[in-house]
Chain A
Amino acid sequence: MTTPLQSGLMPADSASGTTLHTIVAVMSFLACLTLGAVLTLSQLAAAWTDGLSGSITVQLLPSAQIAPEDQMREALRLVRQWPGIYEAKEVSSAQARSLLEPWLGEGNVLDDLPVPQLIEVTLTPGQDVELEGLGRALADGVPGAHLDDHQRWNQELASFAASTEGVGWAVLLLIALATLAIVIFATQAGLQAHREIVEVVHMIGARDVFIAAEFQRHFLWLGLRGGVIGLVLAAVTLVGSGFLWDSREAPVGAQLLPQLVSAPYHYIWLLFVPVVIGLIAMGTARLTVLRVLGRMA
């Protein structure tokens, strides 16, 4: 007579069942959404700061010492010959007006204001540009010229992105801690519920690590199963929200909001969520069993 594959020493449903699977799946779901948001935020922050740090602006304030046309011509000449400058172009007065219109409104109010002339400068990517020297050269050589390297905006954006990312990572840490606490509770309950089995296996000569291995295998699979269920639900939610964002039913302006997962390669990172949850569950179960058995006579 042949014998089937050996069963685990702990009953298949020990310390688990539908409830525990559901909780782990929910944890995985929340972790996937949070991780997606953190990754997207990180990508957006990088794009914002890259965009800003790749360009500078030269403002030309009206000056009694130089005519506006000469001021523009001299500033353009100085900027274009500076090492590391890819492009420098004058922002027309019409463009400057359209930039100010949201704050000052339409009309002829701008005709009465001393609106500065602007030069938009694009830096050569990957090349260090001596911006401090350029600022000094402009200030010395062109009356009324002022260089704005967007440093203040850069710092504020970077600070905002870092703090929001930090919140995201903190949420992920909380999810991991909650998963850990659930597994500790479930392992202790499992040991209590199957104390008889643990005692028999002990009396037969099993070492603590053998019993711990039985529990850790059980919880690894529990973590992986629950984690994959949560991942699938999160993927459906993310893909679904992507369609909704782009659909006609979405409110005006919704397309401008960032999606929770904005790049396809972010989904690869999400695949790690069930693995990490499985490993957390496995490690926690092992340590819990060894701690509890160590206290036994």
Chain B
Amino acid sequence: MVRFENVGMRYGLGPEILRDISFTLDQGSFHLLTGPSGAGKTSLLKLIYLAERPSRGAISMFGRDIATTPRDELPALRRRIGVVFQDFRLLDHLTVFENVSLPRRVTGELEFHYRAEVEELLSWVGLGNRLNAKPATLSGGEKQRVAIARAVVAKPELLLADEPTGNVDPDIGGRIMRLFIELNRLGTSVLIATHDQRLIERLPATRIFKLAEGRIGTTQATHELALPEARRA
């Protein structure tokens, strides 16, 4: 589904942020991306959700070579990806309902087709009573849940999340992770960038990409981590 081969990336004429990145995300897989702040996690996600182009190397998404894909065909690929941005990137002048339904709206779908689904999803993430609220009136945790609902509302084939549980309490964090796991069971590939140790411990066996100084150093499975038994239970 996603294949990176010796990918490097730099912003403008600056230093290389990512170096020799090679990995594959298979359909229905569940991966974590970890690493210290500044390691390049967000830049790597940007490459995957086609917000940036690599400086070198080859990227293949859904069987298409990105370097040779015309610009007007990128939106169709982006619609197959759901993204939870680290800074949420909600549109402040739109309501919670409108923000969440945006991915359906941009495809030209009419509101009456998706209204019930969006309302149900918002209820599920605990925002059923905030449909008409504007983002400015929401807490950090509520904004994060809106961002997550927006990312999953179109049932993407690939879900990318940048620190999705960073601003929510453990209970809501648990619900969000269960939503990701459920989507993964339904066939969505999931890649979560996080350094939340509790989140890592809570997940089922999955691969972890450890990013350090712009390179993927090691890949490891969660069940291979040396975690205290009590915390893994």
Query: Do they bind each other?
Result: yes
Residues of A within 8 A of B (CB): 1, 3-4, 6-7, 9, 11-12, 196-197, 199-208, 210, 294, 297
**A8 CB, min distance to chain B CBs, angstroms:** 9
* Across the A-B interface, the 7 shortest Cβ-Cβ residue pairs: A205-B79, A206-B106, A205-B78, A11-B93, A207-B75, A3-B97, A205-B75
The 8 Å CB contact of B49, one of A4, A203, A208, A294, is A203
Interface size bracket, B side? 20 to 34
**A273 CB, min distance to chain B CBs, angstroms:** 31
Interface centre among B52, B78, B129 (most CB of A within 10 A): B78
Known interface pairs A196-B89, A200-B89, A204-B103; A6-B75 also in contact (CB < 8 Å): no
Interface centre among A12, A196, A203, A208 (most CB of B within 10 A): A203
Q: A7-B98, A205-B79 are in contact. List 9 more A-B contacts (CB 8 A).
A: A3-B98, A7-B95, A196-B89, A203-B49, A205-B78, A205-B106, A207-B72, A207-B106, A210-B106
Q: Are A297 and B107 in contact (CB under 8 A)?
A: no
Q: Whose C-beta in chain A lies nearest to the C-beta of B71?
A: A294
Interface centre among B98, B103, B106, B108 (most CB of A within 10 A): B106
Q: Are B107 and A200 in contact (CB under 8 A)?
A: no
Q: Is B61 an interface residue (CB 8 A)?
A: no
C-alpha gap A205/B108 in the complex (Å): 11
C-alpha gap A99/B58 in the complex (Å): 94
Q: Whose C-beta in chain A lies nearest to the C-beta of B88?
A: A200
Q: Are A201 and B102 in contact (CB under 8 A)?
A: yes
**B150 CB, min distance to chain A CBs, angstroms:** 8
Residues of B within 8 A of A (CB): 49-53, 71-72, 75-76, 78-79, 83, 89, 91, 93-95, 97-98, 102-103, 105-108, 111, 115, 119, 128-129, 131-132, 150
C-alpha gap A199/B83 in the complex (Å): 13
Q: Could you pull out 12 A-B pairs where Cβ atoms are within 8 angstroms?
A: A3-B119, A3-B131, A7-B98, A12-B93, A202-B75, A203-B50, A204-B83, A205-B78, A207-B72, A207-B75, A207-B106, A210-B108
Q: Whose C-beta in chain A lies nearest to the C-beta of B79?
A: A205
Q: Which residues of B contact A12 (CB under 8 A)?
A: 93
The 8 Å CB contact of B115, one of A3, A7, A9, A200, is A3
The 8 Å CB contact of A3, one of B95, B107, B108, is B95
The 8 Å CB contact of B78, one of A3, A4, A11, A204, is A204
Q: Which residues of A contact B131 (CB under 8 A)?
A: 1, 3
Q: Whose C-beta in chain A lies nearest to the C-beta of B99?
A: A200
Interface centre among B53, B83, B105 (most CB of A within 10 A): B105
Q: Are B102 and A1 in contact (CB under 8 A)?
A: no
Q: Which residues of A contact B52 (CB under 8 A)?
A: 297
Q: Whose C-beta in chain A lies nearest to the C-beta of B128?
A: A1
C-alpha gap A200/B100 in the complex (Å): 12
The 8 Å CB contact of B132, one of A4, A197, A204, A210, is A4
Q: Which residues of A contact B150 (CB under 8 A)?
A: 204
Q: Which residues of A contact B103 (CB under 8 A)?
A: 204-205
C-alpha gap A207/B71 in the complex (Å): 10
The 8 Å CB contact of A9, one of B89, B91, B95, is B91
Q: Which residues of A contact B95 (CB under 8 A)?
A: 3-4, 7
C-alpha gap A1/B115 in the complex (Å): 11
**A68 CB, min distance to chain B CBs, angstroms:** 88
Q: Which residues of A contact B108 (CB under 8 A)?
A: 210
